[in-house]
Every structure is written in structure tokens, then in C-alpha cells.
């Protein structure tokens, strides 16, 4: 199996097969466009085909806190229609989107009423009764933060109205935070698969079975049926799985992280999507231990801005993008009038970025800031980012760690400047220029190319990881404007995992 199946910040995978095609959806949190979608013909090699959320109003991401937004979609196909359930956490709430073509236009989303929680799954029995099963974490009202375990209702998916009061289902083996339920009918038996143990190092997949969608469910003799907890496996936090049947057997798509450092402590790319094979023994799934694919070729993506933006480009809590324009084949970003002193501290900065998908990476762009201030930033959230920006002959590298800020300044000539941000993993056995081998990588900020390249700052990368920021996302690197208008051309992303 190819692993990672979908690299970089692509957590909470859900997969469905329709004919000879497979479709995969992932969480996107506060980023826009939201809920990325992928297509495959072999359930192994995945190609991006679009997003569910492509216009304002489908998600209420404009004001969600960090970590809010689109959580844990489930994608299914029923009666000629694709259905996707998702929690717009701290936004609209639980939603059902529909489409006839997953690459095409999705509906505005129906708000679910009577199914308060997250990680909603949707399934139908043979009679066409629709069941929504979910993790009962309350995110509104006076009971905010209360967890009711795995819940279920029968629902009218056209209106989003629950047709009964929620019932409690099997909620795992007693480990913390039962979540990510998926309900399947397999050869006449109903299976309820969940995640438990928390989405951190204790994460795992557990399963139960019963005679109907409502249970009662009995847990597998050995649960969790899949976990990497307390191992030195290069992929940690493995869990939140979804099952799909292929022509040559069953597969599980699940999330995991690739933490680095001497003690596997820090995961710079956040939660990614991985895949493995599943066999059925005695009516229970036996999940093959996943392995990382060695010797994957390096990737180089060169973007010029004389064409429409590709699917990989993201903004933060902003579906309008009115501040993005083009002129003379360049991308022009206009800064907001109310930008804070440090532009990337804003909840909705004028920023356009793409996910870091490789442990070794380099992002380069040519910046013309003669009419403003702007540059490159690698971001986890508005309180944790590293920036390199230029204005009026001065180049500034910056580290923002919550309430701590450090800057370096060097002069540069007026006119366009090539800026770059590079990441290099720290290998304990290798000689490195930073003595603390507990960290995962080094982030380098600089300008110029070839013999004229100047490294302005080298920064510990552990502070831009999910383990430090407590965010559910991953690194996103891109362009921003802090004042005035700034023009960018020829953005190059290079990455490999050697």
C-alpha cells in the first residue's frame, strides 16, 4: 500500500466506493475551500478532484476559533446521490451536504436538528431508513464540553430533522473520547467501528457488531483492533478509520502522524491519511500493520499565476477572496485596512498558502513589495507562525510563538526579492547545527538563490507542530500582504521524505 496515502494536513479520512471509483474526503477546519475530495480507481493512488465547500455560507468559518470549522466528514452514496455529513464545529453545527457528482457543485448543506455532537456518520438499512450515528460531544450551550458517548438517531436526511430522541450505543472499551463512529452492514451483520483513546498517541480503532443498526452491539474479543500506541512505529496517533471493500479485499483508511526527534515527540505535518489492508477472521476485522512507502520520488510543483488557482491553495476563514487579484501574470494581494502590527497574527489574514506535504521541503516565491509589505509565512495558527517579509529595502524574519516574538532584519535592494522557507528534519545520528536533538526539524528563512542565497534565521521546528500548538491542522506555507499591495510570481514547492 502507498503510504502516506494523502500526505500533509489531511486528517479524518472517509471513503466510499461507487462502481469502480473510490472517493475520499478529509477535514479542513478553518481553511477554505473546505473538505477536500480525492478520487481513485484502485483505493491506493488518490487524485484531488475538488472540495465540498466552495462558496460563502456553506460553512460558518468566518468566526470559528482556531481548531473549529469542518470536522470529520463521512462520505456515502445512496439512491443515486452522494451524501456527506460533517460537523461545522462552533459554526453551523452538524450538516448534510449532497451532490450528484462529488467533483461538482455540492448543496448549501442542511443543518441537522436533534443530533448534537461531532463526527456524524450516515447509513441506510435495507428498508431505506436513514441512521445518523455520532460522537456526543456538546459544543454549544451550558453543557459545552460534555461528552455523551456514541449516540444515534433515525433521521430525515432531506430536512435534517431527527425522527426520535438520541439513543446511546456501544462506546468502546472505556478508553477516553469515543468518536469517529462508522456503521456498516456486512454480509447481514451490522458493525459499529469507532475511534477511542484520544486523537493523540493513545489513538486506536475499536469495533463491535450486532443484528441491526441499533444494536445491541458486542465488542470484538480484542479491542482496539488497530493502534500504534506504546510502539516506536514511525506513524503515531493511528486511528479514526473507515472501511471500504475493493476487488482484492478490504482496506482501511485512517489518520496518523509522522513525529520526529529523538523520542518521536513532534509531528510537523499534523495528521495525514494512511491506508492498510484488512482481512476478516471469524467475523472480525484483522488489520495489517501499515508501512511507510520507501524511496518516494521528490516532488516539485511550480505555480505561475497567469492561470486559475489550483485546488491546493487555501485561505483562512475567508471564502470571499476579494483581495486576491492578478496583474501582468502575477498574483497581487492587497492587505486589510485593519491588519495588526504582525499581519499573520490576524484571525483572517490576507494569506494564500498550500499544505506542507513532505518532511523536507522548500517554498520559494519572487516578491515585489515596492507598494507595500509582505512575504512568506509558514503557519500552524495565528499564534504560531514563522514569517519572512520585505518592505522598503528591509527584509525581516520573524518568529511568533504565542506571546513571544523575535525578529531579524537585514537590508536588501529595492525591487523584487526571492524569498524562501525550507524545512530540514533533525536526524539524531547526523551532525546538525542545533544541539537539541529532541526537536523534529529546523525551519530556515532566507532570500536569494544559488550563490546569492542568504540564510537569515534558523529556527527550531517543534513549535510549529500539532504537539505544541494543540491545533488539529498542519503546516500551511504561503504568501501574505501586511500593508499596501504586494505582487508575487513563480511560487515553487519542493518536497521529499528522504
CB 344 within 8 A of CB 351: yes
**How deeply is 104 buried, as exposed, middle or buried, from its count of CB atoms within 10 A (0-12, 13-18, 19+)?**
exposed
CB 73 within 8 A of CB 52: yes
Is 272 a known active-site residue?
no
CA gap 242, 445 in Å, rounded: 39
CA gap 93, 138 in Å, rounded: 10
- 88, 119, 179, 460: the catalytic one is 179
CB 287 within 8 A of CB 280: no
CB 404 within 8 A of CB 410: no
CA gap 423, 475 in Å, rounded: 11
Is 12 a known active-site residue?
yes
Which DSSP string corresponds to 54-84?
-STTSS-GGGPPTT-EEEEEEEEEETTEEEE
CA gap 71, 132 in Å, rounded: 15
What's 113's DSSP letter? Answer: B
Reply yes or no: is the peptide bond before residue 4 cis, omega within 30 of 0. yes
CB 121 within 8 A of CB 213: no
CA gap 222, 328 in Å, rounded: 62
**Which residues are known to be catalytic?**
12, 179
Amino acid at each position: 500500500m502507498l503510504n502516506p496515502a494523502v500526505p500533509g494536513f489531511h486528517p479524518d479520512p472517509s471513503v466510499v466506493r461507487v462502481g469502480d471509483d473510490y472517493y475520499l474526503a478529509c477535514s479542513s477546519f478553518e481553511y477554505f475551500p473546505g473538505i477536500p475530495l480525492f478520487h481513485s480507481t484502485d483505493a491506493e493512488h488518490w487524485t484531488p478532484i475538488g472540495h465540498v465547500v466552495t462558496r460563502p455560507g456553506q460553512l460558518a468559518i468566518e468566526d470559528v476559533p482556531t481548531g473549529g470549522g469542518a470536522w470529520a466528514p463521512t462520505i456515502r452514496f445512496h439512491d443515486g446521490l452522494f451524501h456527506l455529513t460533517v460537523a461545522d464545529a462552533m459554526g453551523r453545527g452538524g450538516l448534510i451536504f449532497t451532490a450528484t457528482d462529488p467533483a461538482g457543485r455540492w448543496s448549501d448543506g442542511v443543518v441537522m436538528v436533534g443530533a448534537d455532537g461531532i463526527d456524524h456518520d450516515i447509513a441506510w438499512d435495507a428498508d431505506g431508513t436513514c441512521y445518523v450515528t455520532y460522537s456526543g460531544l456538546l459544543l454549544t450551550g451550558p453543557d459545552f464540553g460534555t461528552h455523551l458517548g456514541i449516540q444515534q438517531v433515525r433521521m430525515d436526511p432531506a430536512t435534517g430533522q431527527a425522527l426520535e430522541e438520541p439513543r446511546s450505543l456501544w462506546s468502546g472499551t472505556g478508553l477516553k473520547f469515543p468518536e469517529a463512529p462508522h456503521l456498516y452492514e456486512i454480509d447481514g451483520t451490522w458493525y459499529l467501528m469507532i475511534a477511542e483513546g484520544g486523537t493523540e498517541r493513545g489513538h486506536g480503532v475499536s469495533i463491535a457488531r450486532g443484528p441491526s443498526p441499533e444494536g445491541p452491539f458486542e465488542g470484538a474479543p480484542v479491542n482496539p483492533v488497530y493502534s500504534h500506541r506504546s510502539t516506536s512505529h514511525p506513524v503515531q496517533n493511528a486511528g479514526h478509520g473507515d472501511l471500504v471493500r475493493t476487488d482484492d479485499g478490504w482496506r482501511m483508511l485512517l489518520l496518523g502522524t509522522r513525529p520526529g526527534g529523538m523520542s518521536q515527540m513532534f509531528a510537523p505535518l499534523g495528521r495525514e491519511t494512511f491506508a492498510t489492508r484488512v482481512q476478516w477472521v471469524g467475523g472480525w476485522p484483522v488489520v495489517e500493520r501499515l508501512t511507510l512507502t520507501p524511496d518516494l520520488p521528490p516532488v516539485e510543483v511550480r505555480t505561475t499565476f497567469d492561470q486559475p488557482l489550483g485546488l491546493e491553495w487555501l485561505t483562512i476563514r475567508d471564502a470571499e477572496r476579494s483581495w486576491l487579484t492578478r496583474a501582468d501574470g502575477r498574483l497581487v494581494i492587497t492587505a486589510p485596512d485593519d491588519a495588526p502590527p504582525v499581519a499573520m497574527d490576524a484571525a483572517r489574514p490576507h494569506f494564500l498558502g498550500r499544505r506542507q506535504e513532505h518532511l523536507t521541503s522548500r517554498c520559494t516565491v519572487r516578491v515585489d513589495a515596492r507598494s507595500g509589505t509582505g512575504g512568506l509565512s509558514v503557519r500552524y495558527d495565528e499564534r504560531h507562525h514563522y514569517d519572512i517579509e520585505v518592505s522598503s529595502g528591509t527584509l525581516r524574519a520573524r518568529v511568533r510563538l504565542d506571546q513571544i516574538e523575535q525578529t531579524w532584519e537585514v537590508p536588501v535592494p529595492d525591487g523584487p526579492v526571492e524569498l524562501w522557507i525550507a524545512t530540514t528534519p533533525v536526524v539524531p545520528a547526523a551532525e546538525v547545527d542545533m544541539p537539541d536533538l529532541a526537536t523534529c526539524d529546523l525551519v530556515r528563512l532566507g532570500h536569494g538563490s544559488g550563490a546569492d542565497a542568504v540564510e537569515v534565521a534558523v529556527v527550531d521546528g517543534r513549535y510549529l507542530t500539532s504537539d505544541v500548538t494543540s491545533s488539529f491542522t498542519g503546516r500551511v506555507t504561503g504568501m501574505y500582504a501586511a500593508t499596501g499591495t504586494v505582487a508575487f510570481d513563480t511560487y515553487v514547492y519542493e518536497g521529499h521524505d528522504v
